[in-house]
Structures are given as C-alpha cells and as structure tokens.
Amino acid sequence: MSKNNSSIMDKFIMAAAKIGQQRHLGAIRDGFVTLMPLMIVGSIVTLINNFPISTGSSGGKQFLKEILAENKFMSWLTDLNGNVWWGTFGMLSILAVVTIAYYLAKSYDSDSLSAAIISLASFMCAVPQMAIFALEDGTEAAGWGFINYNYVNASGLFVAIAIALISTEIFVRLSKSGKLVIKMPEGVPPAVSRSFAALLPGMLTVLAVTFVTVMIGKIASQNIFDLITETIMNPLTKSSGSLAFGLIIVFLTHLLWAFGIHGPNIFEGILQPLNVNAIATNTELLAAGATTGFVIFNKSFLDAFVYMGGSGVGLGLIIAILLVGKSKQNRMVARLGAAPALFNINEPVLFGLPIVLNPIFVVPFVLGPIICLIIAYGATAIGFLPVARAVIPWTTPPILSGLFVTGFAWQGPVIQVINLALSILIYIPFVKIADKAEMKKEGNQATA
Amino acid sequence: MLKVMFVCCAGMSTSLLVEKVKKAAESKGIEMDVYALAEADAKKDLAQADILLLGPQVRYLESSFREGIKGTDTKLGVVDMMAYGRLDGEKVVQQIIDLSNE
C-alpha cells in the first residue's frame, strides 16, 4: 500500500476511534444496554397481547388480548402483559434518563447516582402536568396533576436523552468547580460531608434546566415535548427508517470492519434510541390498523435480516467455505467460527480468516449485506414481509430472530433463508480465489 | 499469580479466547487468573490486572488505556489479530509471558 493510502486509512481509523470513544454517544449506548432486558420483556408482552387471530367466518382480525379479556379465567394474562408494557415501554424515557445520566457521570468519575437522580428530576420538571379530557357532551375539561404516558414512553426519548446529557454536564461541572461545595467543620464524618457535596450543584442544576424548559415552552407557546416531536423526532424517525439511511449505516459498518474496527459498536449509540422509537411507532400503527407509514429500517430489522451470523452475513461465509472451500486453514477457521456465528458473533472469522485488511474478502463482505438489506427492505415495502415490531437481543439465532421480530410470521424466516442463500452465492467465488492463494502458500510450505 | 484481563466490546467473543488461554497456560504449567470484561466495566479500574490485553477490534482504545494505567505496574498489549481469530491460546500465552517480562 502506498504511503498516501495509508495516511488516509490512518485518518479514517482515527476518526472512527474518536466516534467510538465519544463520551456522550458512549453514555447513550451503555444506557440502552442496561435497558435491554426491559425492552425485550416489553416486546414479548406486546407480541403476546397483539398476536393477531382471525375469527372464522367473518374473516375479521382480532388481537389475542381481546379474546383473553373476554375469558374470566385468562383475563389476568392481558392485565399482566399490559402492566409490564406500561412499566417498561410505557415509561421508557424515565428509565433512559436515569441510565444515560448514570453512565455519563461515571465517565467523568463523578457521583453517578446523584447525577442520575438529579437528571430524572430535571426531566420530570419538564413533563406537562395538565390533562384534557373529552366529555360525553362533546365539551372538554382540563385537570391538573396528570402525567400523560405519551410524554414518557419512547416518544419522549429525544427530550430524555437531551436532558440527561445536559443536566449531567451541568452537575458534573458545578461539582468539580469546588467553589460550590459546602465545607463542613472538622469532626463531621466524611460520609456526611460528602452528602453535602452534591447539594448546591444538584439544586442549581434542577433550577437551571427547568428554567430553560419553561422558557422554551413560553417562547414556542407549546411544551418542549410537542415541540421536539414535531420539529425533530418525526422527521428523524421518518428518515431513519429509509433505505438510504440503512444503506449508509450498513456500508460504513462494514467498511469499518474491513479496517478491523468494530463497526456495529460505533453506531450502537445512534441506532439504539432510533430503534426503540421505530419499534414503538410500528407497534402503535399496527394496533391502530394502519397499513402504511411504518419505520421499515431499524436496528432489530438489521439484526434479523442482515447480520445473520454477525457482520457481513457471517453465516453465509462460513457455509460457503464448508461447501466449496479446500484450504485446510480456511476450513479450520470456518469450523471454529460456526458455533459463535449461530449467535451472530463473528470475530473468529473476521480476524482468523481474516476478513480484516484482506482485499479478497472485502468485496463480498460489503456487497452481501447491502443486497440482503435491499431485499428485506423491498419485501417489507411491497407488503410481503411484516414490519419489525419487537426489540430482539442481537445474539438471537437466525430463523428465531426472523420469527420474533415479525411477531411470529412465517415470512420472516423465509426472507432470512433467501438472504442467507444469496450471501452464500456471493461468497463462493471469493472463497475459491482465497483457496488458490492459500493453497499456493500451503504448497510452498510443504516443499520448503 | 499473574492476573490477565482481556477487554473487548461486550466481553463475548473474547470469552471464547479466555477459555483457550486458560487451557494453554495450564498445559504449560503456568498459573494465571484470566478473565474478559466489556469496555465499560474494565474502565472502572484499569490497573486491577497485571496484564491488560485489548481485543483487536477495540485496539483504538490503546492510547486512552495507556493514559489510564500511567504510573502503575500494569502492562498493556493488543492481542495479535490472527491469534485472536483462530483462538490460538498458546500464541496468546506467549504474548502474555513476553509482556510480563518487559
């Protein structure tokens, strides 16, 4: 490689490393990792409650929850599912404020519990408290003291993330300045004086953030949640579900891997919040009986239909090697990588074959996922593949992931099998080229 | 006993390697305490181990981790890419020994 090329590569890696280590993106990523069990259980109960059941002769569709609710022995199950949804997806923004603020404060070595609680309070200060009820006679009545779940579920995530990051930044700076820490006289136990350390910074943070949210409300004459949803969240949700955005993410992720950098990890902080919002939007639309307007591309969709066996549709490469590969080394790596690849862990093959910095495999490694993305996206757009409606762990084995993400639709696994077969076909010629190169080496070693 | 900490993104792929390293060290009769942590957990206390090894997919952490262990006896290295991918425990044990002798 020429000197010029390597310096461009260095710059690329440096830029990627900077994004990967970006403090705020890292806090969002780690915050969502903590929420993973809650998002998954929330998805499971939603899938069960909204399981579609066709009712015989009339041909109309009913949801499982409606049938369960009518049965006096089973109605507890819909309640359980509904309540678990309420406490997980329904309160997602509240949960996210706490975890994101916690990790951001921790990255500064600051008091992370205090930062989390102060951010939570700052967020709750911004939540509208008035509710408007439509009365039977057609008039409306307003009441004070109500929290609308529409502000604290996934729709409120953007405000939640912003307030978690901003109030933690303020709190950390104020506590580090030292001027605001109340000094206790000698003889006061250190534990007590530490509890006073967060006092003034905490008070000032809540006041400052709430001042800003109140002023935004006054100037825009609507609350910050509605404002952000209309101006940022809705356009962002729409464009993040597009094929173009999907192609950019898939291309960059694999380009990063080609240089040996964990691409999916770098984009996790961006994709996770978008994913939760996308899944919640899709679930809501489905429950309302909509047939269009879905957010097609999202992380769960990507995990299920593209990252089968890990980045690069790793399972396709492993099967291709086991089918036609001749080189002993390559077959050994494929066998070694097969078990982890069933859980979408791909590092043994990425580094062992290797794919990283290997000009032969870079082409199918980038091309295969792009084709899989286009096929799955197209299949959803024409209405064949049901839209993604559940958050799944990225380690869910293929076929199962296709079932879960589509709410148990057979079309999910079918598209997965088609994508897998295509990726095998794309990899086969390159496996043969790599074989020739490897055989030459193995031959040379044998004669030497 | 030599304490060796591996770090990768989620601690998942590296835990495969940890098993191989344990076996290789055992067969060589070297006592080591080997474990894998995710990046976020490792950062809590970087100097907890004698040897700190980064998975090749997070080698971009090297400079910030080197900063983090300044002034401690902990030694830092990046696992050789091919050894990592092929789960070559022996090669990694050799790397650990070389690092500890530095």
Give the number of domains in chain B.
1
The whole model's pTM is what?
A: 0.83
A17 contacts chain B (CB < 8 A): yes
Q: Where are the domains of chain A?
A: 105-238, 243-447
Q: Is the peptide bond before B56 cis (omega within 30 degrees of 0)?
A: no
Compute the distance between CA of residue A43 and CA of residue A433 in angstroms, rounded to an integer: 44
Among A189, A200, A94, which residue's Cα sits nearest to residue A150? A94
Q: How far is A18 from chain B (nearest CA, A)?
A: 9
Per residue in A63-114, pLDDT (tens digit) is 788 888 888 888 899 999 999 999 999 999 999 999 999 999 998 888 899 9
Long-range CB contact pairs, A434-439, < 8 A, 24+: A434/A327, A434/A330, A434/A353, A434/A360, A434/A361, A435/A325, A435/A326, A435/A327, A435/A330, A437/A360, A438/A327, A438/A329, A438/A330, A439/A326, A439/A327
A48 contacts chain B (CB < 8 A): no
Instruction: Look up the CATH number of the domain holding residue B9.
Output: 3.40.50.2300
Strands B2-8 and B51-54: parallel
The verdict on a CB contact (< 8 Å) between B84 and A352 is: yes
The verdict on a CB contact (< 8 Å) between B81 and A395 is: no
Chain B residue with Cα closest to A14? B60
Residues 322-341 of A with CB under 8 A from B: 332-333, 336, 340
Least confident of A188-192, A251-255, A375-379: A188-192
A7 contacts chain B (CB < 8 A): no
Q: How far is B96 from chain A (nearest CA, A)?
A: 19
Domain hosting residue B38, numbered range = 2-101
Per residue in B17-58, pLDDT (tens digit) is 898 899 999 998 888 999 998 877 787 788 889 999 998 888
DSSP one-letter code for A356: T
Chain B residues whose beta carbon lies within 8 Å of the beta carbon of residue A395:
12
Chain A residue with Cα closest to B17? A348
- State residue A242 phi and psi, 5-degree precision: -85, 160
Chain A residues whose beta carbon lies within 8 Å of the beta carbon of residue B13:
340, 345-348
Compute the distance between CA of residue A317 and CA of residue A338 in angstroms, rounded to an integer: 10
Give Cα A154 distance to the centre of its chain. Answer: 12
B81: nearest CB among A103, A260, A349: A260
Chain B residues whose beta carbon lies within 8 Å of the beta carbon of residue A265:
9, 57-58
- Cβ atoms within 10 A of the Cβ of A124, count? 16
- What percent of chain B is modeled with pLDDT above 70? 97
Q: Look at residue B40 in the predicted model and tell me its pLDDT.
A: 73
